[in-house]
């Protein structure tokens, strides 16, 4: 309608076999001072169809029902069916209003009597026809949208009383798919206790009752159906019933969201699998510096013809690499295996570095290391930093302490060394020393998303204390499986 009002030129199709009538119609429209018109005149049905195929679009069509090669409403029916956005005005003779009315019932927008054509009535007829056509097209689109919604609506409207149970008072449905799945006849009110799994009933009733107190319910209800387990989204508004002290009247809709739940479950499974593979990839990566240094040390012993140390180091190195590869296939390993791996790794590094230091491994009595789980290769980079950048260069004997304890459902691993610390080594060296912890943060983020649990890592400098050095605290959930 707005587009029509703004446009100054309208394209008009006239289907009329009487040329004088065409001339009268055109002359009357040309008297309109506000608009101009471009006319296309057709005298037969065949000519009209040819013009319609070639012409881009007409704004209005005038149609005489009595053209020679069209029977009755044949051409009108064609225009209504295939040119649904084209308004049609019927041109009819005197005394033929009944046929014109029938044409309107079949889809025309208006009619004009040929013996009463004037500028005012013709211009008004065009305005009315275009406005009516725009409204009818919009109405049809809305009706189609509603039909599509009803066809695809997998749910029911409900009314129930919530009072130590859920009593259905009214149940209506869209296309009936959900009712058929639940095995409910048209006039039957379902017993939700029979549909909801027994172990879910108490929890759901409590949840729905609590939400009723807030005035609005929005919860997922798992139910058993003839086709298996379904997930229904129950939404509605509640009002307190005066007749029942703990009762609520709840009205709303129940929607079948089974497909959505299954898709979300599959997406979550794939996402967790991706995080799992990413975590395994990270855990399988031994520090390349460690690999290079270990091989360089083996080469050093060979050059020095120290075959015993070369063979011992090669054997220990092979066992360590095998253990890394075996552990990397698992998202989690037992804390006992992780401790065994760390001891083997520290033993190898002490031989490689030919460094004498005291190792203290402690864990509290309440820590069941064989049953608690931890991601593999999570602690090794921190121990490597302590050995290479903390204890190296010490004039006195180094001390490396690794402690495990259980604190508020968290496995707490504390790694301390008596190295030079930040003050003696400088800020740049300290940042380089714990650059591995920055890489470790990435893996911890992955583990948080994979398990939906909390992991934390903190680094404390102790160089201003009596016992200088660095303390690293890693906290891992104690309920990983």
Asked if the model's pLDDT at residue 169 lies above 70, the reply is no
Are 8 and 33 in contact, with CB atoms under 8 Å apart?
no
Task: State the CATH class of domain 2-150.
Answer: alpha beta
Alpha carbons within 13 angstroms on the beta-carbon side of residue 469 total 22
What is residue 184's predicted lDDT score, i.e. its pLDDT?
64
pLDDT tens readout for residues 434-469: 445 566 777 888 788 878 889 999 888 887 656 678
Number of Cβ within a 10 Å radius of residue 423: 13
Q: Does residue 278 have a pLDDT over 70? A: no
| C-alpha pair distances (Å), 38 with each of 14, 31, 62, 402, 451 | 11, 13, 13, 93, 71
Element (H, E) at 10: strand 9-15
The most confident of the ranges 54-63, 139-148, 241-250 is: 54-63
**What is the model's pLDDT at position 380?**
86
Per-residue pLDDT reduced to its tens digit, 362-400: 988 778 899 999 988 889 888 888 888 888 777 788 899
- The count of other CB atoms within 10 Å of the CB of residue 240 is 13
Whole-prediction pTM:
0.47
pLDDT of 15 strictly over 80? yes
Residue 105: band (very low, low, confident or very high) from pLDDT cuts 50, 70, 90:
very high
Are 294 and 256 in contact by the 8 Å Cβ rule? The answer is no
Closest CA to 347 of 321, 323, 374, 316: 316
Judge residue 436's burial from the number of C-beta atoms within 10 Å of its C-beta, 0-12 exposed, 13-18 middle, 19 or more buried. Answer: middle
Is residue 174 within 8 Å of 150, Cβ to Cβ? yes
Q: Rounded to whole angstroms, what are the CA distances from 1 to 131, 168, 269, 412? A: 6, 48, 52, 72
Query: Distance (Å, rounded) from C-alpha 287 to C-alpha 435?
Result: 12
Alpha-carbon distance of 343 to 444, in angstroms, equals 23
Give the pLDDT of residue 303: 82
pLDDT of the residue at 179: 64
What mean pLDDT is predicted for residues 413-425?
76
What pLDDT does residue 428 have? 46
Contact 35, 12 (CB under 8 A): no
Q: What is the pLDDT of residues 178-237, one digit of tens each?
A: 666 666 665 555 566 677 787 788 888 888 888 998 999 998 888 877 667 888 888 899
E strand or H helix at 289 = helix 288-303
- Containing 202, the helix (H) or strand (E) segment is helix 198-214
Q: Which residue has the higher pLDDT, 304 or 58?
A: 58
Q: How far apart are CA 383 and CA 381, in angstroms?
A: 6
Spatial contact of 308 and 476, defined as CB atoms under 8 Å apart: no
Given the candidates 3.30.565.10, 3.60.20.10, 3.30.420.40, 3.30.450.40, the CATH classification of the domain at 268-477 is: 3.30.565.10
Residue ranges per domain, the chain?
2-150, 155-256, 268-477
**Percent of residues, the chain, with pLDDT higher than 90:** 27
Interhelix angle 307-328/258-283, rounded to 10 degrees, is 180
Q: Are 227 and 181 in contact (CB under 8 A)?
A: yes
Residues 113-126 have pLDDT tens digits of 988 889 999 999 99
- Provide the b/e sequence for 115-127 (b: ≥16 CB within 10 Å): eebeeeebbebbe
pLDDT band at 307 (very low <50, low <70, confident <90, very high): confident
Q: How many residues does the chain have?
A: 481
CATH superfamily of 155-256: PAS domain (3.30.450.20)
Contact (CB, 8 A) for 257 and 231: yes
Q: Is the pLDDT of residue 16 over 50?
A: yes
Whether pLDDT at 170 is above 80 = no
Averaged confidence pLDDT in the chain: 81
């Amino acid at each position: 309608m707005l587009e029509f009002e703004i446009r100054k030129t309208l394209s008009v199709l006239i289907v009329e076999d009487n040329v004088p009538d065409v001339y009268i119609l055109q002359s009357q429209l040309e008297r309109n001072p506000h608009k101009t018109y471009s006319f296309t005149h057709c005298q037969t049905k065949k000519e009209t169809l040819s013009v319609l195929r070639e012409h881009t679009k007409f704004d209005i069509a005038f149609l005489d029902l009595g053209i020679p090669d069209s029977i009755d409403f044949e051409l009108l029916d064609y225009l209504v069916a295939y040119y649904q956005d084209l308004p049609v005005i019927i041109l009819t003779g005197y005394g033929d209003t009944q046929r014109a009315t029938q044409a309107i019932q079949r889809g025309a927008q208006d009619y004009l009597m040929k013996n009463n054509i004037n500028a005012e009535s013709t211009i008004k007829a065009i305005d009315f026809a275009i406005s009516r056509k725009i409204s009818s097209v919009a109405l049809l689109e809305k009706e189609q949208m509603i039909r599509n919604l009803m066809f695809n609506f997998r749910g029911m409207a409900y009314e129930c009383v919530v009072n130590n149970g859920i009593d259905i008072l009214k149940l209506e449905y869209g296309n009936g798919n959900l009712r058929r799945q639940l095995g409910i006849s048209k006039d039957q009110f379902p017993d939700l206790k029979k549909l909801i799994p027994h172990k879910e009933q108490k929890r759901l009733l409590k949840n729905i009752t609590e939400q009723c107190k807030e005035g609005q319910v929005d919860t997922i209800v798992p139910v058993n159906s003839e086709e298996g387990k379904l997930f229904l989204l129950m939404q509605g508004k509640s009002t307190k019933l005066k007749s029942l002290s703990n009762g609520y009247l709840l009205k709303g809709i129940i929607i079948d969201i089974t497909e959505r739940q299954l898709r979300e479950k599959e997406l979550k499974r794939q996402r967790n699998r991706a995080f799992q593979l990413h975590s395994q990839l990270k855990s399988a990566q031994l520090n390349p510096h460690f690999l290079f240094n270990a091989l360089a040390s083996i080469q050093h012993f060979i050059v020095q013809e120290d075959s015993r140390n070369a063979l011992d180091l090669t054997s220990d190195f092979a066992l360590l690499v095998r253990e890394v590869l075996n552990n990397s296939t698992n998202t989690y390993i037992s804390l006992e295996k992780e401790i065994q791996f760390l001891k083997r790794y520290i033993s190898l590094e002490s031989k490689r570095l030919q460094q004498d230091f005291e190792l203290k491994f402690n864990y509290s009595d309440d820590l069941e290391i064989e049953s608690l789980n931890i991601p593999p290769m999570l602690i090794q980079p921190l121990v490597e930093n302590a050995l290479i950048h903390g204890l190296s260069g010490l004039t006195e004997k180094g001390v490396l302490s690794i402690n495990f304890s259980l604190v508020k459902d968290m496995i707490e691993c504390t790694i301390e060394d008596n190295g030079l610390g930040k003050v003696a080594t400088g800020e740049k060296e300290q940042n380089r020393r714990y650059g591995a912890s920055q890489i470790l943060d990435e893996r911890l983020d992955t583990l948080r998303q994979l398990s939906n649990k909390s992991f934390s890592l903190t680094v404390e400098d102790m160089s201003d204390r009596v016992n200088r050095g660095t303390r690293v605290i890693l906290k891992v959930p104690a309920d990983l499986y």
